[in-house]
Amino acid sequence: MKELELKYGCNPNQKPSKIYMHDGSELPIQVLCGKPGYINFLDAFNGWQLVKELKEATGLPAATSFKHVSPAGAAVGLPLTETLAKIYWVDDMGELSPLACAYARARGADRMSSFGDFISLSDVCDTDTARLIKREVSDGVIAPGYTQEALEILKSKKNGNYNVLQIDPEYRPDPIEHKQVFGITFEQGRNELAINRELLANVVTDNKEIPDEAKIDLIISLITLKYTQSNSVCYAKGGQAIGIGAGQQSRVHCTRLAGQKADNWFLRQSPKVLNLQFVDKIKRADRDNAIDVYIGEEYMDVLADGAWEKVFKVKPEVFTKEEKRAWLDQMQDVALGSDAFFPFGDNIERAHKSGVKYVAQPGGSVRDDQVIETCNKYGMAMAFTGIRLFHH
């Protein structure tokens, strides 16, 4: 297949639309099911690059959950704890394969943002992963292959209209890439930078110790940022992104946004949230929305108008600001990556509130000393990578 006609472009009025290879060669993908659209392919191709690099960097199966050309979550296939299995709603599925664990983590980090995602998998999709995907609201999946059983499960999703893509894992794009904006062609070399432990060698803080687990988390954060719309920062812990702030004009707004998502991820593990009693047959999305409201300050309004009865069997106690802060104070050893330098120490101050201990950023700000000083105040270890990771 040398080209594929699409229904429309980014919006229904943008026609005609298609994908094809500029040199006239065969496309490196097959559509096994469904009719993927323009944005689906943007998500799929960016996500595939991300998981491919995560697998190469860590040796572990990887998955990402993409929405609007930025990842909502990314992870490698480490086993799930009992608590994580519960907050990701997979505790009823038994022991999962490493690839399924990777997707459970990627989807579960920010379930609000992952609703209706496009999934990318580094490895052949197995039955466990397909079963997990089958029960989530999702637009499609791309992988280097599918077992027969997994493919049949996915083909049954959305009444046979679920988008299933298979990509040639041996495909390598040209080293020069092009895009058009306003009829003008832009050309640049592809960002082929290999993100590995060597980028973390220049530790500029008093604390020089970055353990192996934290290095993996920093690598995950940096590879995630490589395919996130800039400006962006990424909090990571335990083999997965736990908070991604994408596309903000201000660096500190990225840090705040991603930090809030990381906080929500950890608050969902608190006993108050784990013990919530939902009404029978509540939809997964409604359950996620209810938890988000419960964690947020607007829960007092929900109590006032009695709306809690629509989702909870028993009226939950208020999760006070003091209780939430006490729980968040237990979050430790979080890693934080940034796609460009931190211009002020306020980013580090905010990161500290979300348990950040390890930081990787390019460095190069006129206020690097201030940022280093703020890290030293909290005993953080920060590496200057010397590499910017803007993505547009």
- Which one from 68, 134, 155, 158 is the annotated catalytic residue? 68
Query: Active site residue: 163, 231, 264, 347, which one?
Result: 231
Active site residue 352: no
Which among 55, 67, 215, 226 is annotated as catalytic?
A: 67
Three-class HEC string of the chain:
CCEEEECCCCCCCCCCEEEECCCCCCCCEEEEECCCCHHHHHHHHHHHHHHHHHHHHHCCCEEEEEECCEEEEEEECCCCCHHHHHHCCCCCCCCCCHHHHHHHHHHHCCHHHHCCEEEEECCCECHHHHHHHHCCCEEEEEECCECHHHHHHHHCHHHHCCEEEEECCCCCCCCEEEEEECCEEEEEECCCCCCCHHHHCCECCCCCCCCHHHHHHHHHHHHHHHCCCCCEEEEEECCEEEEEEECCCCHHHHHHHHHHHHHHHHHCCCHHHHCCCECCCCCHHHHHHHHHHHHCCCHHHHHHHCHHHHCECCCCCCCCHHHHHHHHCCCCCEEEEECCCCCCCHHHHHHHHCCEEEEEECCCCCCHHHHHHHHHHCCCEEEECCCCCCCC
Q: Which one is catalytic: 2, 22, 281, 392?
A: 392
Q: Is 67 annotated in the active site?
A: yes
22 is known as an active-site residue: no
* Active-site annotation, residues: 67-68, 231, 392
